[in-house]
Amino acid sequence: MPGADDGHADTPEDRAADRLLAEAFELLPDAVSISVAVRDADGRAVDLCLEYANAAARTGRTPGAVPAQGPRGDLWSRARTAGDGVLAACLDVLNTGLPEHGVFAPARESAHRTTDHEYRAFRLGKDRLLLVLSTDRRAQALERARPRPDPGDGDGGAGSGGNDRERLRILADAGALLGASLDREATFAAVTNSVVPSLADGCLLYLADDTGRLVLTALAHRDPRRQRELRDLAEASPPHPDAEDGVGAVVRTGRHERGTDVTRALSPSPYAGEDRRTRRGPSPADSWLAVPVDRSGTVIGAMVLVRASPGRSPFTEEDVPLARELSRRATPAIENARRHAEQTEVARRLQESLLPRALPEVPGLELSARHHPGEKGTLMGGDFYDVFPSGSQGWTIAVGDVAGKGPQAAALTGLVRHTVRATGRNTTDPTALLRAVNTALLEEPPSTRRFCTTACATLRPDGSGMRLALALGGHPHPLLRRSDGTVVPVGHPGTLLGVVNEPRLRTVHHTLDPGDLLLFYTDGVTEHRSDGVMLGEAGVHTVLARTPGASAEAAVRLLEEEIAAHDPGAPTDDFAILGVRVR
């Protein structure tokens, strides 16, 4: 193996194993390199000398570059690794012996890679470093899927006569593409990209919708002009499910079809040749192969491969097994993406059902709210807010956070919200509302019981302002911004709900004057992190202090923007914000 340094003489068996391991490295989609440490007079590693790079790593090297004095080339440039911090990380590994794992972005826009890299670095023996660089799998697979000359096949593709290594490479690259995302559109595009241009010049993916109608879900072609022609043809000729050949026949029979006229593959008529008059201009493909997309014995669509490059041979029966295998591997990705989209839609609708469809119009008050479900696309969160009328001219406000995520958290969120509303018909005491919630949570079976934090408040007209009654059940203190810009927390700390039979709760009272704003929020706001530092109540306080006199909508929007700026990534926790301002 390159870089081996164990002090023992190699046996024939060792050399055979080394060759096998080196060959395996060559097939890896990740860039792998082994470098030797360059040490200073004190014995500390200060530079690297590249000793070995696998095929994925070599694709980014400048031809003829000398590897001495550190990695070279676009992918392994010393200047780039120094700017990205990876060189320093690698030197730390050599000096400490501790492995490193991290992510970095390219230092220059003109760099070979344009997306984030994930790296892992390990020390081998005393002076060698193993660096594994995982680049964007979709871009990498597309690059490596370019047709390669194949002995015995003059078309330069991986079709007839393609060797086993090339076929394995195509399947490996397809796997990297298909596993890159759960997004439905991205997955459908990955299916077509997985065969273009390695196996075909273009690819169309048809899937049956809920009514059984075949819908073009993705299309790719190596030539933009041909892609437009192919799309125009596909849109003008939706395949008919009862067609005697082409896509319709493939989906109906489960057998593959191939031919030399792509308009025949996309025939919208059940009768062969009937729609030939609809063809306009030259065909965007000279050869086509359609294979079924099969799910547990049920055909759910078809993948159509087309070729039209000069010198590239038409599809033959030798291409069918590889095309079918690619289709077989694509099916789980397609189903997972469909299921993920359905679950995300269900979660979204259920989450919406736990919130008011719209905030009410309250005389004398401005209301504004935000709710973000966090990064768990299919997991419903437990954060909620509600505003509803109570008593004569009064209004009740509830903001809370049920522990956990998913269906159980959503069910308990609904329980809490409806308990507050039902109890609010008979009392306007916030403490009584929280005690009712506590009782409802404790009556749940132990297997589904969860705790909850809730802030309950009532507002009633009081002269030119409003009279506030507020109780907190383990919830963060709302912040009150007075009309002069002063910001203070309000409320008395209370016990979490759903934990003990007799929680400690207290109602406090305040008078809100015109221009005063009361901001409720869940802990997903204050616990939002950037580089390990939470936004905290102080961060929310700072936002309000910057907006003296601003409307409820402006204050809430500014806090939302501050959360996004604090960490540009998607929030890891759901959060709710409700602003109430006296007019």
Domains assigned to the chain: 12-135 (3.30.450.20), 140-342 (3.30.450.40), 354-582 (3.60.40.10)
**What confidence score (pLDDT) does residue 213 get?**
85
113, pLDDT greater than 70 = no
- List the structure tokens of 135: 């680049």
**Nearest Cα residue to 70 out of 92, 45, 93, 95:** 45
pLDDT, residue 275, reads 45
Task: Return the residue matching tokens 């039209």.
Answer: 308
Give the mean pLDDT of the chain: 79
pLDDT in tens, 183-194: 888 888 889 988
- The answer on pLDDT for 155 being more than 50 is no
Query: pLDDT at position 141, please?
Result: 46
Quickly state the pLDDT bin for 268 (edges 50, 70, 90): low
Question: Residue 581's closest CA among 512, 486, 507, 510?
Answer: 512
Task: List strands edge to edge, sheet with 100-104.
Answer: 45-53, 31-39, 128-134, 117-124, 100-104
Which position has the token pair 């509830």?
398
The mean pLDDT of 160-187, rounded to a whole number, is: 73
Amino acid sitting at position 169: R
| Sheet strand arrangement including 465-473 | 383-390, 394-402, 452-462, 465-473, 507-512
Q: pLDDT tier at 375 (50, 70, 90 boundaries)?
A: low
Q: What is the pLDDT of residue 437?
A: 96
- What integer is the mean pLDDT of 266-272? 57
Place of tokens 């869940």: 522
Q: Which of 351, 468, 483 is nearest to 411 (CA)?
A: 351
> Strand 529-530 and strand 533-534: pairing?
antiparallel
Query: Would you place residue 69 in the very low, low, confident or very high pLDDT band (cuts 50, 70, 90)?
Result: very low
pLDDT category at 85 given cuts 50, 70, 90 is: low
In this predicted structure, what is the pLDDT of residue 65?
A: 33
CB half-sphere exposure, 84, CA atoms < 13 A: 26
Sign of CA dihedral 33, 36, 38, 39: positive
- Of 112-126, 230-244, 317-331, give the lowest mean pLDDT range: 112-126
Cα angle for residues 391, 395, 396 (degrees, 5° grid): 100
CA torsion sign, 478 to 482 to 483 to 486? negative
In the 8-state DSSP scheme, what is residue 318? G
pLDDT greater than 50 at residue 241: yes
Return the higher-pLDDT residue of 81 and 309. Answer: 309
What is the Cα–Cα distance from 480 to 482, expressed in whole angstroms?
6
Instruction: Give pTM, 2 decimals.
Output: 0.54
**Mean pLDDT along residues 405-417:** 84
For residue 308, CA distances in Å to 265, 269, 286, 312 come to 15, 24, 5, 7
Which residues are registered as beta bridge partners of 518?
Answer: 480, 580
Cα separation, 209 vs 522, in Å, equals: 40
pLDDT classification of 154: cutoffs 50, 70, 90: very low
Q: Helices 12-27 and 164-178, interaxial angle, to 10°?
A: 50
- Model confidence at 453, pLDDT cuts 50, 70, 90, reads very high
Please give the radius of gyration of the chain, using alpha carbons only, rounded to the nearest integer: 32
pLDDT at position 477 is: 96
- Cα 276 to the center of its chain, rounded Å: 44
Residue 283 confidence class, pLDDT cut points 50, 70, 90: low
Asked whether residue 146 carries a pLDDT value surpassing 60, the answer given is: no
pLDDT band at 302 (very low <50, low <70, confident <90, very high): very high
Structure tokens at 80: 């780039």
| Residues of the chain above pLDDT 90, percent | 35
Per-residue model confidence (pLDDT) at position 100? 79
